[in-house]
Each structure stands twice: as C-alpha cells, then as structure tokens.
Amino acid sequence: MNRVSKPIRVVIVEDSPTMRAILQARFEREDDIVVVGAAANALEGRQMIRELDPDVVTLDVEMPGMNGLDFLEKIMALRPTPVIVVSGSTHEGAETTARALAIGAVGCYAKSEGGGSYGFDDQGKLADLIRDASKVRFVTRPAPPQSPTAPHMPPRTSTAPRNPALIERPSLIAIGSSTGGVEALQVLLGSFPVDCPPTVVVQHISARFAPAVARTLDQSCPPRIVIAEPDLPLLDGHVYIAPGDDRHFTVGGRSGQFYQRLRRGEPVSGHLPSVDVLFHSVADVVGAGAVGILLTGMGTDGAEGLLALAQTGARTIAQDEATSTVFGMPRAAIALGAAGVVAPIGTIARHAFSKAA
C-alpha cells in the first residue's frame, strides 16, 4: 500500500558503483521512493540535481577526488535540497558527516549501521530518513557564526548581551533539537557566552555521530561542548550533548550543584534519548531557574516537557517557523501554550539571557 500518492524522487551521489547499485536496489524495495538519478561524482551530481530537481539527495561526502563539504555548500547555496549524508562509520567519516550536518544536511546514515547486506539495515531506517527529509522545506536562515570546516579553535570569548540591566543568569539551560538541529545549534551556541550556565542538549542523532557533532560545535562556539557522562557535575561554561545511544539524558542534584544522569529505558515520544525526558527532569530538579529551548525537528518530542518547564515558571523559548528546517517540534509546543517566546534562531540566545524577553 502506498504511503504517499506521489513517490519521493531521489538522486544518489556515490563514487562506488557497487554502493550505488546497493542503494538503488534498497530504495526499489519501497513503493513510495523512486531513484531518478545516480551520479558517480560531484559534477554528475550537480548536473542531475539541476535537471531532475529531486526531492532528496543522498550524498557520500568521502568520495575521492572531490571535497564533499564544498559540494554540499554549493547545493545549499545554489539549489537548497534536503540532503542525507550516507557515509562510512570510520572516525574520519563521522567527523566529515558532523561538519556536513552543521552546513545544512538534514540527516545522516552510517553504511555499517544496522546489519543487513553490505551494512544496510533490514528495518528501513534509511528509507525513513528519506521520507522525513522529503518533508523539509528550506527557507533563508542565518549563516553559522564561523565555518564548521575551520580546523582551528577560535578564542573562547563571550558573545552574549553585556548590558547588566538585561542579564538574568539562568541556573541551567536545556535544549532539544532534531532535524536541522546541528545547524541550528551551531548558530545558537555560537552566540552563548564563554561562561554560560551549565547547558544540556538532546539532539536526535545516532551514537555513531554524536561525539563528532560535539567536537564540530566545540571548534566554533565559545563554551566547551562535550558528550555527557554519567554522574559527573554540570559545570559553568560547558554544554553537554546526549550520547545518542540507548540511554535517556536527565539532570539530577539540587540548587547549586547539578549532575548528569544517563539511564537506560524505552523510547519516549518516539525517541531514545528523548527531549521530553530531559525537560521533565529539568522541571523537577531546577524549576523556575531554568531556561528551556526547543529547536527545529520532526514530530512532537519536547513539547510536553517544555510545557512542564513553563508550569514551573521557567523561561521557555521555541524556534520560529521561518528559521526552522522542520517546524514540527516547535509547532507542537506552541500549540500547547508551552512557549513563552517564539523567536528566530539568531535571537534565541538574547532571549535566554534577557529579562526583557
């Protein structure tokens, strides 16, 4: 039975003939996805994207003889198209994929993920990523504060508002994001002060890529950005990202000293880790001293948790539709009355630290 009346049109960009054939055969098993082109290099891919106007592109950014990140930047600048990065699971592949997500790729998939033929899963995870990507509608969004491909660490200096009359320091900041979230985090955290309050993040992403995402963000944002570890204290000037494995990320402790908690469990709101679980824990432990921020993403994860935060008196912020890659999660929170502020991604940091917000 068809899931949609109109098939999702996909262009594959992959230098390996074997992998191109595997991808094409994989998609042919789906009745709502059709491969309209398969390119062996960036030049062919660019031509196919221009001529065929696909709904989604799958891209191997590790192709020899080309800079996949440069190619992706050209796609996003000249003909914005939802791109799923299909990469190897090596360290280099993960690092490149993380940078691609910061540039604007909307999803990622490791070739060795799952366990089906040639590393592709039998449960259709890649096909589901294609379906989610096909729902993305691009708008003009602010550029990241620094290119995510920059190899050096910038000076860690504060970029937050400095007018003392406007500053009200939160005890803790909690952030949830999904599709398009790495790019949004690049903008948001790039505007955080170097000595920001402890900040905790659930970004929906595979555990294979989460550490590389943290390293990529750490290269261009003032605070230290690391992967969360169980039972360690949450420190000023640090941003902690959920590992993306089968553990929920929560906050424990009491006022003056909060701790990272990681616990195994079942998916909540369709996700493990779940933004809702994180937000509910922050509402319970931190309450009115917290700030909750819900960014771009598919679905509703985080909406109920943001409402719980709002009900404690915490400041709650949702990314607006115009700058969201996918407005699902913020829209759900707004519909519940959970968002005290709805703002473009480029101004959310100001709202997080400003009494006037």
Which residue in 187, 26, 227, 34 sits closest to 103, CA to CA? 187
pTM: 0.87
Place of tokens 């890529």: 209
**Angstrom distance (rounded) from CA 175 to CA 333:** 13
- C-alpha Rg value of the chain to the nearest Å: 20
The backbone torsions φ and ψ at residue 118, rounded to the nearest 5 degrees and listed phi first, read 55, 30
Catalytic site residue from 178, 191, 281, 354: 178
Name the β-bridge partners of 167.
Answer: 354
Listed in order, the ranges of the chain carrying CATH 3.40.50.2300 are 8-133
Q: What is the pLDDT of residue 356?
A: 52
Predicted confidence band at 160 (pLDDT cuts at 50, 70, 90)? very low
**Residue 152 known to be catalytic:** no
pLDDT 10s digits, 298-319 = 999 999 999 999 999 999 999 9
Residue 112 reports pLDDT greater than 90: no
Domain(s) labelled CATH 3.40.50.180 in the chain stretch across 164-353
Say how far apart CA 225 and CA 104 lie, in whole Å: 20
8-133 CATH fold: Rossmann fold (3.40.50)
| pLDDT surpasses 60 at 166 | no
User: Of 104-118, 214-228, 298-312, 328-342, which range is least confident?
Assistant: 104-118
In this prediction, residue 43 has a pLDDT band, given cuts at 50, 70 and 90, of confident
Give me the catalytic one of 204, 238, 271, 280: 204
Q: Look at residues 104, 110, 187, 175 and name the one whose alpha carbon lies nearest to residue 145.
A: 187
**pLDDT number for residue 341:** 96
Q: Which CATH number fits domain 164-353: 3.40.605.10, 3.40.50.1980, 3.10.20.340, 3.40.50.180?
A: 3.40.50.180
Catalytic residue among 15, 60, 301, 320: 301
Respond yes or no: is residue 301 known to be catalytic: yes
Q: How far is Cα 225 from Cα 199, in angstroms, rounded to an integer?
A: 9
Is 274 assigned a catalytic role?
no
Per the document, the length of the chain is 357
Q: What is the DSSP string of 106-161?
A: -EEEETTSSSSGGG--SS-HHHHHHHHHTT------PPPSS-TT--SPPP----S-
Q: What percent of the chain has pLDDT over 70?
A: 85
264-302 pLDDT, tens digit per residue, is 999 999 999 999 999 999 999 999 999 999 999 999 999
Mean pLDDT rounded to a whole number for the chain:
87
